[in-house]
Amino acid sequence: MEKKKRRFGDRKDGRRVRTMSPMSYVIPYIMRTRNDAQNFFAVSMDITETDKFLHDLRRQGYKNISILHVIMAAYIRTVATRPGVNRFCSGQKIFHRNTIEINMAVKKEMSLEAPDTMVKVRFEPEDTIFDVYEKFNSVVQEATADNSNTNFDKTAAALVKLPGLLFRFAVDVLYFLDYFGWLPQMLLDVSPFHGSMIITSMGSLGIPPIYHHLYNFGNLPVFISYGQKYHKNIMNADGDVEKRTFIDLKVVVDERICDGFYYASAFKLIKKYVTSPTLLKTAPETIIEDID
């Protein structure tokens, strides 16, 4: 898609949305923080066919492809035609993000003592499930390699060396800069608090998904948590009982970026793509630009 020219009032990471309804301009001044504006949504998805799809891909050589890649690809595909979910609220104004960036906390290894790090992966609206697999795995492998030290790790290590009061002052300065869109690009590139969406897998921990709060710092508008797979007996259209595989998602969203009808439309698309992942094997036929 053609990159739009930056205008006065735009930010490094997004362009100002100027043609929203009057109510949409008022709400960010009433709900000043993401904690004020967060809504909660839960959905169960039948992933029986998705499981078969992933099994076939693993046999074809995509060794560790999982439901995580499908959920991310489904979200990216939804953004391609529902670009409003890729907006964010900052400085009491609504912006459309210039990129699609998904953040995730990962452990260097699966042990209690292993440190966490954050990864941020940039995607394009035309990315397929195969693009998502390659891009995400490449970043994660680099972040979890032996003796790896990501840019996020380096930035965090520099900040925690500050004395407590100076650290707090530094964070206040970052809040101030972020409010006006003045954060340096290098910080935006590593910040886990800036991005299209953040996702966490509770299934890998063997527990159900949680409702995870949104962060007031930064501009992440969506937090998705998903749990472990489980089976349920369902009566089909013929009246026969069959065993199906399900997964639960819990989502927390910033209600200021788009209305409930728009969100509902987007969630239906995400569910469609997660439960019918063959649609993600090819690029979308149409990509819709957000309003100006």
Q: Do 202 and 227 meet the contact criterion of CB atoms below 8 Å apart?
A: yes
Between these two residues, 12 and 204, which has the higher pLDDT value? 12
For the segment 4-13, the average pLDDT, to the nearest whole number, is 87
Q: Which residue has the tokens 């009491």?
A: 92
pLDDT surpasses 80 at 109: no
Task: Compute the mean pLDDT over every residue in the chain, rounded to the nearest whole number.
Answer: 92
| 285 Cβ neighbours under 8 A, 6+ residues apart | none
Distance CA 91, CA 219 (A): 10
Beta strands in 157-260 (DSSP E): 197-201, 222-226, 230-235, 241-254
Residue 51 has pLDDT above 90, yes or no: yes
Does residue 22 surpass a pLDDT of 70?
Answer: yes
The arrangement of secondary structure in 14-281, i.e. its CATH architecture, is 2-Layer Sandwich (3.30)
Domain ranges of the chain: 14-281
What is the spatial distance between Cα 54 and Cα 62, in angstroms, rounded to a whole number? 9
Span 208-260, pLDDT tens digits: 999 999 999 999 999 999 999 999 998 888 888 999 999 999 999 999 999 99
Per-residue pLDDT band at 73 (split at 50, 70, 90): very high
Q: State the Cα torsion 280-285-290-292 to the nearest 10°.
A: 160
Paired tokens of 123: 């995607």
Three-class secondary structure of residue 267 per DSSP: helix
Residue among 267, 290, 270, 292 at smallest CA distance from 279: 270
Quick: pLDDT tens for 112-146.
666 778 899 999 999 999 999 999 999 998 888 76
Phi, psi of 88, deg, nearest 5: -150, 160
Per-residue confidence (pLDDT) for residue 152, from 0 to 100? 78
If you average pLDDT over residues 45-73, what whole number do you get?
96
Q: How far apart are CA 270 and CA 276, in angstroms?
A: 10
H or E element at residue 130: helix 129-144
